[in-house]
């Protein structure tokens, strides 16, 4: 293991599956899932959600399906501010374009006041910090201690000339973790069937006995690039179907990525602009959070 990987592992929350044939053959993934599920059930029992700014029908929908789409997330004026700031931020020193990423061009970068566009970053960060996004993350994770502990990233996705969007591992249905975790993004422009809509499998966030058995079986499959891929056949067996998130600009999507999901196909001549709201770091333990915070202070 290189030093870089060692430090990375130290700062990262637990991996979805362990890369150990022996442990997996001993049903260790089942034990990991049961352990996380028990922790979540305990959190759920003591979690007080009364103070959160979430309506009952929104809670019910999220509980049942594992995702929610919030249209017109910001008022018109705030959305204009975000749109302008986002466009200006594309020229920031934080945004880097990866030119050949599985046939895609990926523009991405942390939206940070410690950049050469601090004012633009500040406007975006303030609006998100004062929005309901944190309440939804708290509700989903059953944790009240997530105080503004999220990161915003600029994202711009395109297809390379003459290529087809069919090799990116994110195109294949998978789960991110074996425990409840949050993914959230905000659409800067309409997201339709041609510009890589997010795909989510409703109800797949429920860690029932069928899902635990499936996780166990998945951990024993041969290790390839697509080792965690959930096939069409798997979905059929589990009685799941995939939903494409066709959404308008100014919509926020939040999902539990214990549930199965993927990125939809990017067709030729289209692009997709989003702000990604990342909560993965909050899954880390206290020591990891402290180290991350310290590292952030030094690097960012």
- Summarize as ranges the residues that interact with Fe ion (CB under 5 A): 176
- Smallest separation (angstroms) from Fe ion to the CB of 172: 10
Which residues, at least 6 apart from 222, have a Cβ–Cβ distance to it below 8 Å? none
Cβ nearer to Fe ion, comparing 74 with 279: 279
- Smallest separation (angstroms) from Fe ion to the CB of 175: 7
Cβ nearer to Fe ion, comparing 120 with 176: 176
Residue whose Cβ sits closest to Fe ion:
176
Cβ nearer to Fe ion, comparing 229 with 249: 229
Which residues, at least 6 apart from 102, have a Cβ–Cβ distance to it below 8 Å? 167, 168, 169
Cβ nearer to Fe ion, comparing 165 with 176: 176
Q: How far is CA 162 from the centre of its chain?
A: 29
- Smallest separation (angstroms) from Fe ion to the CB of 262: 7
- C-alpha span between 259 and 69 (Å, rounded): 15
- Smallest separation (angstroms) from Fe ion to the CB of 201: 12
DSSP-assigned states of every residue in 174-241: B-S-SS--EEEEEESS-B-TTB--EEE-TTTT---HHHHHHHHHHHTS--STTTTPPPHHHHHHTT--
Cβ nearer to Fe ion, comparing 90 with 108: 108
Specify whether the CB–CB gap between 256 and 66 falls below 8 A: yes
- Smallest separation (angstroms) from Fe ion to the CB of 278: 12
- C-alpha span between 141 and 200 (Å, rounded): 18
Cβ nearer to Fe ion, comparing 113 with 166: 166
- Smallest separation (angstroms) from Fe ion to the CB of 41: 24
- Smallest separation (angstroms) from Fe ion to the CB of 174: 6
SS3 223: coil
If we measure between CA atoms, which residue out of 223, 224, 242 comes closest to residue 232? 242
Cβ nearer to Fe ion, comparing 188 with 199: 199
- Smallest separation (angstroms) from Fe ion to the CB of 187: 18
Angle, helices 286-299/3-11, rounded to nearest 10 degrees: 120
Q: How far is CA 151 from the centre of its chain?
A: 11
C-alpha atoms less than 13 angstroms from C-alpha of 81 in its C-beta half-sphere:
15
Cβ nearer to Fe ion, comparing 112 with 274: 274
Q: To the nearest 10°, report the CA torsion of 263, 265, 267, 273.
A: -10
């Amino acid at each position: 293991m290189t030093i870089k990987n060692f430090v990375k592992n130290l700062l990262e929350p637990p991996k979805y599956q362990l890369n150990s044939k022996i442990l997996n053959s001993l049903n260790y993934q089942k034990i990991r899932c049961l352990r996380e599920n028990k922790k979540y059930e305990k959190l759920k029992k003591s979690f007080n959600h009364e103070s959160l700014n979430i309506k009952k029908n929104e809670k019910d929908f999220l509980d049942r399906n594992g995702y929610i789409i919030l249209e017109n997330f910001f008022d018109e004026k705030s959305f204009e501010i975000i749109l302008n700031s986002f466009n200006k931020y594309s020229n920031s020193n934080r945004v880097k374009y990866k030119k050949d990423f599985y046939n895609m061009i990926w523009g991405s970068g942390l939206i940070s006041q410690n950049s050469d566009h601090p004012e633009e970053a500040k406007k975006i960060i303030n609006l998100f910090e004062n929005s309901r996004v944190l309440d939804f993350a708290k509700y989903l994770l059953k944790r009240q201690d997530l105080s503004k502990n999220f990161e915003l990233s600029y994202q711009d996705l395109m297809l390379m000339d003459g290529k087809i969007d069919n090799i990116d591992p994110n195109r294949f249905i998978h789960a991110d973790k074996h425990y409840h975790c949050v993914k959230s993004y905000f659409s800067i422009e309409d997201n339709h069937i041609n510009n890589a809509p997010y795909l989510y499998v409703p109800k797949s966030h429920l860690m029932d006995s069928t899902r635990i058995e499936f996780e166990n079986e998945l951990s024993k499959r041969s290790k390839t690039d697509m080792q965690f891929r959930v096939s069409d056949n798997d979905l059929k067996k589990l009685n799941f179907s995939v939903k494409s998130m066709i959404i308008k600009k100014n919509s926020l999507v939040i999902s539990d990525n214990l549930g199965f999901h993927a990125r939809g196909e990017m067709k030729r001549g289209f692009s997709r602009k989003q702000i990604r709201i990342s909560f993965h770091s909050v899954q880390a333990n206290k020591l990891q959070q402290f180290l991350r915070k310290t590292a952030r202070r030094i690097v960012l």
